[in-house]
Each structure stands twice: as C-alpha cells, then as structure tokens.
C-alpha cells in the first residue's frame, strides 16, 4: 500500500491563497517519510512557489487551470523553435537571475533551517506595491521551472495521470475530514487562533488514526487474497485509498482500553464476503 498520511496542520486566513502556506507544513514535516514532490491545483500555484520548491530540492507538480493561457519562456531570444514559436513568446532575463543567485541560496537556507517560515517570506516579498528586485528575480527563476514543467505535463500522459491520482487522493482525504468533523455543521467556531489550531490538530490525529486502521486491514485483505491464489497488479494498488469511512460510526460513546489494545498481537478476523 502506498503511504498516505497527513503530515501537518496549519490554520490560515481564508482571504489568502493556499500557495502562500503550502511550503510551511512540508518543511515542518516530522514523519519518517521524506517529501520529494507536491501536487496541487491552481490555487496552490504561483511562479514564486515554483522557484522556492526547486531551490529547496523538491518537485512542484501543479495542475493549472486554463493551461493554454499560460506564458512559456525561452532562454535565448535568437533561438527559433519551428513548432513552438507561436506559444513561446517571452524570453527569460538571465541577468536578473544571475545577479541574485547568492540571495537565492541565502533564502533557501533560511527557509530550510527554519529561520523564517516560507509563508512569511512569500507574504513579505509580495506585499510591496512595487515588487523588489529579489521578488522579480525569484519570479523570473520560477518562470524557467514552469516553462520546463508545462511541456513535460503536456507530453507525458503517465505524468498527468500521476498528478490526477495524487489530487484525487487529496480530495478523498478532504471528504474523510469533512465526515469526521460533523459537530457544528463541520465548522471550526473557536475565536482564538490557539483553540482553532488545537481543534484542527485533533481532527488530523483522528483522521490519521482512521487511515492507519484502514491501511492495516487493507494490507491484510491483499495478503489473504494472495494466499487464496488471486493475482494483483501493483499499479492497481495505487488506486486503492485508505480514506474509506463507510464502516466508521462517528456517533455515540467511545471507550479505549489502551493496555488491552497495546498487548493485542493479531488483527481482528477479516469478514468473509457473503454469496449473493
């Protein structure tokens, strides 16, 4: 089973774009899994984010709406592309990037080491009415990465499917969280940011508990099917989600006997399918 877990929770203002905060939870990841790629929809995309992901050594794979309206850039104005000149209409300002390269490295180190949060950095870079030179240089570098990523996305069907699968898993995760957060019509109504963060973190804990439970039993089912002679394709397993909740009863009282459960060595018996 491919791993699926929530690695972070952050309460953010609803008036700001997701792209401003997308790197915070990724860099604060405390799980054993190293995050190498992030997929998102248009709300999580900016050229600035493209640049920061690349400088931090991670792949940014957004699915951008109205892709045909995006501007692609080439490195040299004198180079001609026989079939692409109609869509590659702009040229990268290489001087702007090279002059600020040392600043790029300092920014990447500051964010990576936690001296400044990515959201604070992005907010400060974008707050000036006239963007400063560092902002313009980072956006220019992001255009380079974007101009490489978009043709890659368009030309490789396997890559597009990969991004679609990841985004679908994200939507399934959102549905699970919405199912579990049923009190107050699924709204966090706390007035203080600390209380909001505590409630959101508690939801993440319960969500991950359901995912771990489902993952253990789905794996047990797969192993049982293999013992019975059924064959499976590893590619098919990428479509199996541990975010199912139709078997979860979210109402009533819950009792947790930690000692008994900790000492239990076996899973519960699997239910056998009934003949129609």
The region that residue 130 occupies, defined by phi over 0 for left and psi between -120 and 50 for alpha, beta otherwise, is: beta
Residue 118: how many other CB atoms lie within 10 Å = 26
Specify the pLDDT at position 2.
46
Render the chain in DSSP notation, one character per residue.
-------------TTS-GGGTHHHHHHT--SSSPP-EEEE-GGG--HHHHHHHHHTT-EEEE--SSGGGPPEEES-TT---TTTTTTEEEE--HHHHHHTHHHHHHHHHHHHTTSS-HHHHHHHHHHSSS--HHHHHHHHHHHHHHHHHHHHHHH-HHHHHHHHHHHHHHHHHHHHHHHH--GGGG----SSHHHHHHHHHHHHHHHHHHHHHHHHHHHHHHHHHHHTT----HHHHTT--S---TT---SS-----HHHHHH--SPPPPPPPPP-
- Confirm if 48 and 126 have CB atoms less than 8 A apart: yes
Q: How distant, in Å, are the alpha carbons of 9, 70, 79, 165, 192 from that of 40?
A: 16, 17, 32, 11, 29
Distances (CA, A) of 245 to 22, 163, 213, 230: 27, 24, 11, 26
Ordered per-residue pLDDT tens for the chain, 276 residues: 445 556 666 666 665 666 677 788 788 776 677 778 888 887 778 899 999 999 999 999 988 888 888 889 999 888 887 777 777 878 999 999 999 999 999 999 999 888 988 888 888 887 765 668 899 999 999 999 999 999 899 889 999 988 988 888 888 988 998 898 887 766 777 777 788 888 888 888 889 889 999 999 988 988 888 888 887 777 777 778 889 898 888 887 777 788 877 777 778 788 777 665
Cβ atoms within 10 Å of 225's Cβ, excluding its own:
12
Tokens in use for 13?
Answer: 């203002």
pLDDT at 1: 46
Q: Torsion angle of alpha carbons 234, 239, 243, 247, nearest 10°?
A: -90
pTM, rounded to two decimals: 0.77
The token pair at 105 is 């490295």
Domain positions in the chain: 18-155, 170-263
d(CA 180, CA 93): 49
How high is the pLDDT of residue 65? 85
Exposed / middle / buried, residue 61 (Cβ in 10 Å: 0-12, 13-18, 19+): buried
Minimal CA–CA distance to 29: which of 112, 124, 108? 112
Pairing between β-strand 37-40 and β-strand 59-62 as defined by DSSP bridges = parallel
For residue 10, the cross-strand partners are none
Crossing angle of the two packed helices 193-227 and 157-180, in degrees rounded to 10? 120
């Amino acid at each position: 089973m491919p791993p699926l877990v929530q690695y972070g929770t952050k309460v953010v203002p609803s008036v700001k774009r997701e792209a401003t905060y997308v790197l915070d939870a990724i860099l604060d990841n405390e799980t054993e899994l190293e995050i190498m790629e992030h997929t998102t929809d248009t709300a999580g995309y900016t050229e600035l984010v493209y640049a920061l992901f690349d400088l931090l050594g991670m792949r940014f794979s957004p699915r951008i709406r109205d892709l045909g309206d995006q501007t692609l850039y080439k490195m040299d104005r004198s180079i001609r592309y026989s079939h692409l000149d109609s869509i590659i209409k702009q040229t990268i300002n290489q001087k702007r990037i090279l002059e600020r390269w040392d600043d790029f490295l300092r920014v990447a180190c500051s964010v990576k080491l936690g001296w400044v949060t990515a959201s604070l950095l992005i907010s400060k870079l974008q707050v000036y009415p006239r963007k400063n030179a560092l902002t313009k240089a980072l956006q220019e570098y992001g255009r380079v990465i974007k101009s490489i990523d978009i043709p890659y996305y368009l030309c490789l069907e396997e890559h597009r499917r990969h991004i679609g699968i990841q985004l679908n898993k994200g939507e399934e995760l959102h549905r699970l969280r919405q199912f579990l957060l049923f009190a107050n019509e699924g709204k966090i109504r706390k007035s203080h940011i600390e209380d909001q963060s505590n409630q959101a973190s508690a939801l993440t804990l319960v969500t991950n508990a359901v995912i771990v439970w489902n993952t253990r039993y789905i794996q047990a089912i797969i192993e049982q099917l293999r013992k019975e002679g059924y064959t499976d394709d590893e590619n098919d397993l990428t479509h199996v989600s541990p975010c199912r909740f139709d078997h979860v009863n979210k109402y009533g009282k819950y009792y947790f006997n930690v000692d008994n459960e900790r000492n239990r060595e076996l899973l519960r018996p699997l239910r056998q399918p009934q003949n129609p």
